Structure 1
Amino acid sequence: MEPSITGLRVLREVAERGSFTAAAAELGYTQSAVSRQVAALERAAGLKLFERRTGGVALTAAGQTLLRHAVVALDAVAAAERELSGLPPDRGVLRLGTFPSASALILPRALAALRRTHPGIRVTTREASTPALVRALRARAIDLAILSSRPPHHPLDDQIPPLERVTLIDTVLLLAVPAATALGAGGVVDIQSLVDQDWIASPSSAGEPGMGVWPGLPGRPRIAHTVRDWLTKLQLVAAGCGVTTVPVGMAGAVPAGVRLVEVEGPVEHRRVVLASLPGPHPPAVAQIVRILRREAARQAEEADLAGPASSRQGALRTPPRT
């Protein structure tokens, strides 16, 4: 095989973005140029590297093998470019991905603690949906990912080997409603009363459902506002523009004019997990894993001391340390 550096970059970008179109937009190429690069790689390898799925593409087993080696080659090229440019080696950088509400829940406290105890470790973060972060882990574009999981907590993807994951917090889903409305008058609402409500949800795409609409809501939800940022969602609720779902751990970030209520019926459990590729972790990764687990445990303890944010007992829990 004699793959080009450009071809390997395209391979990594398509693997991370999950589509030729998204990879082309990120690289500044046309979609046809990306397709040609992938076709050239497949001819050189003599094997199919991607398979088409609903809403995008995924690596085949051969594609995963080539990607694993491509990342090593691309990192070496990047290191050579830095050295030739007279820049210092990019050491001690940990790349962390998070889903939106984790940025407000755990991340700031953990990063503050890391700066106090290990100032030599630099962390960069990126926010995305859980499926996008799983792809970024596989493409080795990030080192760790804080992800959301819902029962029955299936594997994060179908690739081999499975990603390692550590539970940070077990929590439940609540509904954020304007306090000065009938919905905000009590602590519990009936799901039928939500059918005609305006909803505030994050954008959705194939394979990446938007967050914000109560699971199992009868009929088709009327989404009035599409917003990624959780704090903006809550401000829209405070302004009376609609309702949205939030994990109970967001109670401390709820602005005036918003009330968190339960929805009658089965409790909607959610789990915050820390995922990584299998194998031994560098010291920097091991440190941030330890700190994230510690800060998650502290947050749960503080929530217990302050009293439950809803009448459901044990709404915010961390697993025992192992």
Structure 2
Amino acid sequence: MDFRDVSLTGLRVFRAVAEQGTFTAAAIALGYTQSAVSRQIAAVERAADARLLDRRRDGVQLTAAGQLVLRRASAVLDEIEQTARELSGIEDQGGTVRVGWPPSLGSVVVPRAIVALRASHPAITVTTREGGTPALVRALRTGSVDLALLGSAPPFRPPDSESPPLVTQTLAERSLRVALPASHPLARQDYVDIADLHGQRWIAAPPSGGERLMGVWPGLDERPEIAHTARDWLAKLQLVAAGCGLTTVPAPLTHAVPEGVRIRPVRGGPQEQRRLVLARLPEPPQEAVVRVAEALRAAALEVDALQ
């Protein structure tokens, strides 16, 4: 089967499964049966002649081939949706869109999206506020923000248990990494073995507001030595550059670290995947919100392609 024969429905279903994380969630979001979703995914994988999704008990994870197909499929679908809007005579609408974002995850994506929007939709004003995931979810529920970028870790549960559920899209999924001083012996290697993280000094943000300890490698079977605490990710990385300890960072920050810091993957333990999720309330969004969401998704794909 030729991949050029893949239907737009198949691409939409594949993107929904990748964004929602499970066949069941994608079926609900699309209004399909789970068997219909399974058939569409099977057809896309046959056409690609490759396994695009790893099926796991807690959901699905994109393979390397799946990440490539998702990037290309999203670009195609976005172009078609844009064409449909233009053909139907929909005009760009201005307005202010309020975006909440966690600095450790959105600091690369949000500025890229704002720059793109200035060129493509200058009538739209974007205002932003930083916050942790629990605080941003509350801001969505109370109407303080229109869109929120959220961090998500396995088992990738919904942002909250309130009803109606928030509408979410997975913009990126990458492994957690460790930041080391450039002078650290472990920085000379291409990766860090998890056993070498034992006995290290860490720079972390204290847990608060329902969030766990951020900055220490998850799952270490020892009581970590916290040398410094800082909530701001840039402050943590500056402390790393000064040789004060190690901290963890999501992969998108690789291209935004200060001098004197080296980012390395960690091997030898469970994969520590992290997702960047875009969330909003389930009510139909205004056109300006749709445009900003599209820009954030495009920026996330650009950042992901640089990894």
TM-score (structure 1 length as normaliser) = 0.63
Per-residue CA shift, 1:149-189, capped at 9, x if unaligned? 11221111110111100111111111001121222121233
Paired position in structure 2 for 1:273? 277
Distance 2:305 2:254 in 1: 14
Paired position in structure 2 for 1:200? 203
Whether 1:259 and 2:262 are equivalent positions in the alignment is yes
Per-residue CA shift, 1:231-287, capped at 9, x if unaligned? 221111111001000111111112222111222222210110100010200011000
2:184 maps to a residue whose letter is: T
Paired position in structure 2 for 1:225? 228
Residue 139 and residue 234 in structure 1: after superposition, are their counterparts in 2 closer, same or farther (change >3 A)?
same
Distance 2:96 2:205 in 1: 30
Whether 1:173 and 2:181 are equivalent positions in the alignment is no
Task: Mark the runs of 5 or more structure 1 residues left unpaired by the alignment.
Answer: 1-90, 304-322
Q: Which moved more, 1:223-232 or 1:164-173?
A: 223-232
Contact 1:231–1:253, Cα closer than 8 Å, also in 2: no
Distance 1:206 1:279 in 2: 27
Paired position in structure 2 for 1:298? 302
Distance 1:203 1:126 in 2: 20
Distance 2:114 2:191 in 1: 35
Q: Which moved more, 1:278-287 or 1:199-208?
A: 199-208
1:182 to 169, 182, 185: 185
Alignment map for 1:68-79 (pairs within 5 Å) = none
Residue 167 and residue 277 in structure 1: after superposition, are their counterparts in 2 closer, same or farther (change >3 A)?
same
Per-residue CA shift, 1:105-149, capped at 9, x if unaligned? 200000111111222211111101011111111111111100011
Alignment map for 1:1-322 (pairs within 5 Å) = 92-264=95-267, 265-303=269-307
TM-score (structure 2 length as normaliser) = 0.66
Per-residue CA shift, 1:16-67, capped at 9, x if unaligned? xxxxxxxxxxxxxxxxxxxxxxxxxxxxxxxxxxxxxxxxxxxxxxxxxxxx
Paired position in structure 2 for 1:58? none
- Helix, strand or coil at the partner of 2:258: coil
- Helix, strand or coil at the partner of 2:126: strand
Contact 1:143–1:276, Cα closer than 8 Å, also in 2: yes
- Helix, strand or coil at the partner of 1:284: helix
Distance 2:129 2:209 in 1: 21
Distance 2:164 2:97 in 1: 22
Distance 1:293 1:206 in 2: 27
- Helix, strand or coil at the partner of 2:265: strand
**Structure having the higher Rg:** 1
Between the two proteins, what is the percent identity of the paired residues?
Answer: 53
Per-residue CA shift, 1:211-232, capped at 9, x if unaligned? 1111101222221222122222
Number of residues paired by the alignment?
Answer: 213
Distance 2:143 2:275 in 1: 23
Contact 1:100–1:228, Cα closer than 8 Å, also in 2: no
